[in-house]
Chain A
Amino acid sequence: MSALPDRDRSGQARVDEPALVARALAGDRAALGMLVEAYAGSVRRITRAILGNVDDAEDAAQDGVLTALVKLDRYDPARPFGPWLLRIAANAAIDRRRRRSVRETRVLGDDLAAGGPLPDAETERLALGDRLRAALDELPEHYRVAVVLFDVEGYSHAEIAEILGVASGTVRSAVFHARRKLRALLDDLKEDR
């Protein structure tokens, strides 16, 4: 199984992105489809890492890709397409998460006021995927995105810095701290077996 269906570990994209973008801008729908398909996996993993909830992540992934397609004529073909697209998708997910936080705060506040039931977070035993997602969810947002882009998608610190709009050193530090926490979880699970 390849962990990276869209990119190899060296971060090289498999498709000629500027040519595909040019064709898509000229109205070639097949090229548009190839662009979306090439990055669908990465975009969905990033939105899922940010949002946790699968349905929200799916909606955010669609919104992000759509926003990028609408702005496609603003893409600079001299630069790699992936970071440009993932930045837009990550922003779509972050916006959705913020809106959701406001919504949830309001709903929780209403429940408390009404004496409603509190959510029970300790009721089920989590599988590895669930535990990892839960651990991810506890990390600060840019830690999550940084570790997924670095260890899963194969982007460099500099590319991730561009996507997140932060310094390269901040990315390196975020990856380090996120790894330490997630690695500890993986090792604990291994020892439990």
Chain B
Amino acid sequence: MRQEPLWSPDHPDAALGDALWAALTAREDTAEFVTHVLARAEAAGVGTWRAVLGRWSRFAIAAAVVLAFLGGYLAGRERDVATSFDTVWVTSATGSEAAAELLATHRAPDPSALFASMLAN
């Protein structure tokens, strides 16, 4: 004779849940379990200053790499801007684009620019 209503599939069955809880809950002390786990965790280096430092070191290295790339990119842009400013300045001061090409460039002087500069003077 089973007159209890059939359990809802969407809600826990309290009677069965209580019976299973009693059958499965360890009699052993929880504090002892926690102590054992924490001791093993400490032996494995979990939560130690070395683990914390190691994790922060990884972040620091990643951040340094990103900053290095960013710095390199910005420095390259700055040099390009400075070069074009130098070119304009030398051109306006000497009135010669060939001189600007010769003085403001970071590359070795092109012989044709060198001759052009000499001919202009």
Q: Do A and B bind each other?
A: yes
A interface residue numbers (CB < 8 A to B): 1, 3-4, 9, 24-29, 32-33, 36-37, 40-41, 44-45, 48-49, 54, 57-58, 61-62, 65-66, 69-70, 72-73, 128-130, 132-133, 136, 147-148, 150-152, 154, 157, 172, 175-176, 179, 182-183, 186-187, 191
A129 to B44, CA, bound (A): 36
Contact check, A33 vs B38: say whether CB atoms are below 8 A apart. yes
Contact check, B40 vs A40: say whether CB atoms are below 8 A apart. no
Q: CB within 8 A of A182: which of B9, B20, B41, B49? A: B20
Contact check, B47 vs A175: say whether CB atoms are below 8 A apart. no
Chain B binding site: helix, strand, loop or mixed by DSSP? Answer: helix
Closest to A155 in B: B12
Closest to A129 in B: B23
B31 surroundings in chain A (CB, below 8 A): 37
Contact check, A32 vs B12: say whether CB atoms are below 8 A apart. no
Smallest Cβ distance from A29 to chain B, in angstroms?
6
A186 to B46, CA, bound (A): 43
B12 surroundings in chain A (CB, below 8 A): 9, 150-152, 154
List 15 A–B pairs whose Cβ atoms lie within 8 Å, in order of A's numbering. A3-B21, A25-B47, A44-B33, A45-B26, A48-B26, A57-B26, A61-B33, A62-B40, A128-B19, A133-B24, A147-B16, A151-B16, A179-B16, A187-B4, A191-B1
Size of B's binding interface in residues, CB under 8 A:
40
Smallest Cβ distance from B19 to chain A, in angstroms?
6
Contact check, B46 vs A72: say whether CB atoms are below 8 A apart. yes
A69 to B45, CA, bound (A): 10
Contact check, B20 vs A152: say whether CB atoms are below 8 A apart. yes
A157 surroundings in chain B (CB, below 8 A): 10
A130 to B26, CA, bound (A): 13
19 other contacts beyond A32-B47, A58-B26, with CB at 8 A cut-off?
A4-B21, A29-B42, A29-B47, A32-B41, A33-B38, A37-B34, A40-B30, A44-B26, A57-B26, A62-B36, A66-B37, A66-B46, A69-B46, A129-B23, A152-B12, A152-B20, A179-B13, A179-B16, A183-B16
Contact check, B34 vs A40: say whether CB atoms are below 8 A apart. yes
Given A29-B38, A54-B26, A61-B33, check contact A132 B20 (CB 8 Å).
yes
